[in-house]
Chain A
Amino acid sequence: MAEVEETLKRIQTQKGVQGIIIVTAEGIPIRSTLDNASTVQYAGLIQQLVMKARVTVREMDPQNDLTFLRIRSKKNEIMIAPDKDYFLIVIQNPTD
C-alpha cells in the first residue's frame, strides 16, 4: 500500500506530469489526480482505444502483445501502460 503511494508520488513529481489515472479493465477509475468529469471521460475513451490497439498488435502476430501506448498530441502526451486487469494512464506535457 505504501509502495503504491510512493510510486505514484514519484511519478507525480516528475517534470511536466499533469495527471495520473489508474483504471480497471472495465473502465472504472480507481485512483485519479484529475477532476471527476475528466477522469471518467479519459477512462471510457482510453479503455476502448487500448482494446483496439491490443487487438491490432495481436492480429498481426499472435505471439506479440501490447506493452505501452503513447499518444502524442499538440498540447500534451498521453501515456498508457496496460496490463491484464488495470491500466495506468499518465498525461504529460513534455518540456520544449
Chain B
Amino acid sequence: MEIVYVYARRRCDFGRPCNFSDRPAELHVDVLPDPALAADFVRRDPCDVAVQCAQEMSEHEVNTERFESEARGINHVEGGWPKDINPQEMEQTIRFRKKVEKDENYLNTVMQLGTLMEHCIKQNNAIDIYQEYFEDEEEMVDSRERPSAKTINVFRDPNEVKRTATSLSWHPDGSRKLAIAYSCLEFQRAAKNMSFDSYIWDIENPSCPEMTLKPASPLVCLEYNPKDSHILLGGSYNGQIGYWDTRKGSQPVETSAIEHGHRDPVYKAIWLQSKTGTDTFSASTDGQVLWWDIRKMSEPTERLVLDLGRKGNLDNALGAISLEFESTMPTKFMVGTEQGLVVSCNRKAKTPAEKIVCTYSGHHGPIYALQRNPFFPKNFLTVADWTARIWSEDIKESSIMWTKYHMSYLMDGCWSPVRPSVFFTVKMDGTLDVWDYLFKHNDPTLSLKVCDEGLFSLRVQDSGALLACGSQLGTATLLEVSPDLSTMQRNEKALATAMFERETKREKILEARQREMRVKERSRSEQSKEDEGRDTDAGDESAEQLLARAERDFFEIVGAELKKRELEAGQEQIGAEELAGYFLTSYQANGPGCQ
C-alpha cells in the first residue's frame, strides 16, 4: 500500500515573486546606562600593569614519527685473505703465514709493538688502575629532595581501534617483560572490528610488542605464573579462562568450556600456591568463584557461590570484581564484590556454607582492588568508589584508615613491595597518586597526571621502583619513582607497625562504645515498650497510622521553618531599609563626589 499525500494549490499561487520594500529603521531594544550599577564597582587607584619589551616568541612542539627497530645479529666469517688464497685450504694459508713471518717489515714491527705492549702489561700488573675505592661505605640516604616520578616509556596499543588496558602483569624473574590485557569493558560498546589480541611487551622496546596472545574473546585479566615464567593465565570477556605458554605460540594451550565457566566477564584470575603449580582460581560478576586446575580445563575443580545467606543461591549472589590471595596464608582468601563488600573466605571449610567467614562493609561501589600489605598481612587495602581504605582483619565494621573522597573514581591500587607504608592509586581523571601514610594522611605525597584519559590499572614491579599503569585508550605508561619512595627508610617497619596498631585500637574502642550504646538503647526501648504496652493496644501501629503520623510531623516541621524564615526576612528588610536610609541622608548631607 502506498502512502500518498496530496495537496492542491491554485496555479497563480505558485512561484510568486518576492516583493521587497524599504522601510525606515526600527529601534527594537535600547539599553540605557544605569548609574545605579556603578555602585557595584570600586575605583582602584593606583593600578599595577606589567609591561614587557621583549621579542615575541612562540612555543612549538615537534614529535618525530615512531621508528621501528629490530635487533639482528651478524655472523662473522673469515675474510681478508688475498684473492689467490682460498681460506679453506690449510696448505695455502700456512704458506701465506710463513711468507709473512719471513718479511723484514713484519719482524721490525713486531719488535716495536712488543716492547710497547710489554710496558703496558707490566703497568697493569703493577697497579690496578681501575680499583674501586670506598666500596664498602653505604650511601647516606638523607637527601631532602622531594619525591618524584618520571615517565620512562609509553606503550601504545598498535591497533586502530583503541581498547582499554584492563590488566597488567610483570614477568616474575627479572621483570623485563610486561603482559597487558586489552579489552573493552563498556557494555556493548566494543567496535565490530576491535581486535581481541593482548600483548607482551619488552620494556626496552616500546615500538612493537614482543609477543601477541590471541584469545577467542578479549582478555580482561592476565597473570604470569609466579613459579613458571612461561605460563600465563588469562580470563576473558565471555567468561572463559585460558592459559598460554609463551614457548608454544599465540594460541591458548587450553581454555575452559563455556558451559562450565563463568557467565560474565572474568574480572580476576590468580594463581594459587600448590605443589604442582597448576592451581588457579577466578572470580566474576556472576557471583561465582571457581577453582581450576590448568591441566584439565574442561570443568572447574571447585565452585563457591557468593551468597551471603549461605544457601548457594545464584540469584542472591554478590558479583565479584577482585580477588586476593597471599601465599603466606594459603587457606584464606578474600573477594571484593560489586556491592562494596569484602568477603573473607576459608578455603578449607568442609561445607560450602562455612566457606564464607565474614564480610567487611564500608564502600559504596564496586571494589576494584584488594591487596594485603606485603609486610603486615593482617592489614589490607581496598580501592573502590572515591576512596581508598585500609582495613584490619579483626575489625569488621569499618576500615581503620581511609583517604578523603576524591573528585573522580579510583580505579586501581596496590601496595609498594618495598615500603610498608607506601601505596599507589590511579583515578579516572588520569592521575596517579603515591601515598606515604607515615608522612601524610590527608593528601597523596605525590600526585602525577599521567594522561588525559582515565587510568584503569596499575601494577608495581617487585623492585618497587618501576610501575606501569594502563589507560582507557590502551596506553601503558612505565614510570620510575624516586629512590626515597622505593627504599625502606630507617625505623619504617616499627613506625608502620605502631601506626596500624594505633588505628586498629582506635577502631576497636569506637566499636566497643557503639555496641555499649546500642545495648543501652535496646534496654531503654525495651523498658519503654513495656510501659507503653500497658497503655496502648498491643501490636504495632498500622501502616496507615504511621503514614499519617509521618505526614503530620513533616508538615509541622515545614510550617515551623517557614515561620522562622519569614521572621528573619522581616527583620532583614527592616535592617536593610534602615541602612539605606542612613546612606541616603549621609549622601545628601555631604554632597555628591565623596565616598
Contact = CB atoms under 8 A, between A and B. Distances in A.
Contacts of B111: 3-4, 7
A66 interface: no
B128 A96 contact: yes
Interface in A48-96: 67-68, 70, 72, 77, 79, 81, 83-88, 90, 92, 94-96
Contacts of B1: none
B76 A8 contact: no
B107 interface: yes
Contact of A81 (B79, B105, B116): B116
B591 to A, nearest CB: 87
Most chain A CB within 10 A, of B101, B106, B117, B130, is at B117
Contacts of B80: 24, 26-28, 43-44, 47
B117 A79 contact: yes
A30 B101 contact: yes
Contacts, number: 98
A92 B78 CA distance: 24
Nearest to B105: A85
Given A28-B81, A30-B101, A44 B124 contact: no
B405 to A, nearest CB: 54
Interface string A14-36: 11110000101011101100000
Nearest to B79: A27
A96 B110 contact: no
A27 B96 CA distance: 14
Nearest to B117: A81
A3 B97 contact: no
Main secondary structure of the interface of A (DSSP, over half): mixed
A1 B102 contact: yes
A14 B121 contact: yes
A85 B104 CA distance: 12
A41 B73 CA distance: 14
A14 B113 contact: no
A44 B131 CA distance: 31
A96 B125 CA distance: 9
A77 B124 CA distance: 9
A95 B96 CA distance: 37
B122 interface: yes
Interface string B109-127: 1111111111011101100
Contact of A16 (B96, B110, B125): B125
A7 B110 contact: yes
Interface in B55-81: 76, 78-81
Interface in B364-404: none
Nearest to A86: B109
Contacts of A96: 128, 131
Given A3-B107, A68-B120, A94-B124, A8 B114 contact: yes
A65 B102 CA distance: 28
B510 interface: no
B78 A70 contact: no
Given A1-B107, A40-B76, A85-B109, A90 B125 contact: no
Nearest to B118: A11
B85 to A, nearest CB: 9
B161 interface: no
Contacts of A11: 114, 117-118, 121
Contacts of B130: 72
B194 interface: no
B96 to A, nearest CB: 8
Contacts of A47: 80
Contact of B76 (A3, A30, A41): A41
Nearest to B87: A28
B100 interface: yes
B130 to A, nearest CB: 6
A90 B76 CA distance: 21
B117 A94 contact: no
Contacts of A16: 121, 124-125
Nearest to B116: A81
Contact of A86 (B102, B110, B115, B118): B110
Contacts of A40: 76, 78
Contacts of A85: 105-106, 109
Nearest to B132: A96
Most chain B CB within 10 A, of A1, A45, A83, is at A83
Given A11-B121, A44-B79, A79-B120, A4 B113 contact: no
A87 B109 CA distance: 9
Contacts of A88: 110, 113-114, 117
B118 A4 contact: no
A16 B117 CA distance: 14
A22 B81 contact: no
A77 B76 CA distance: 22
Nearest to A94: B124
A41 B78 CA distance: 8
Nearest to B97: A30
A41 to B, nearest CB: 6
A95 B127 CA distance: 9
A72 B80 CA distance: 27
Contacts of A17: 121
Interface of A: 1, 3-4, 7-8, 10-11, 14-17, 22, 24, 26-28, 30-31, 40-41, 43-45, 47, 67-68, 70, 72, 77, 79, 81, 83-88, 90, 92, 94-96
6 contacts: A3-B111, A16-B121, A43-B80, A81-B116, A95-B125, A96-B131
| A-B pairs, 6 with minimum CB distance | A27-B80, A7-B114, A26-B80, A88-B113, A81-B113, A94-B124
Interface of B: 76, 78-81, 96-97, 100-102, 105-107, 109-118, 120-122, 124-125, 128, 130-131
Given A4-B101, A44-B80, 12 more contacts: A4-B106, A7-B115, A14-B122, A16-B121, A27-B80, A30-B100, A47-B80, A67-B116, A77-B124, A85-B105, A86-B106, A86-B113
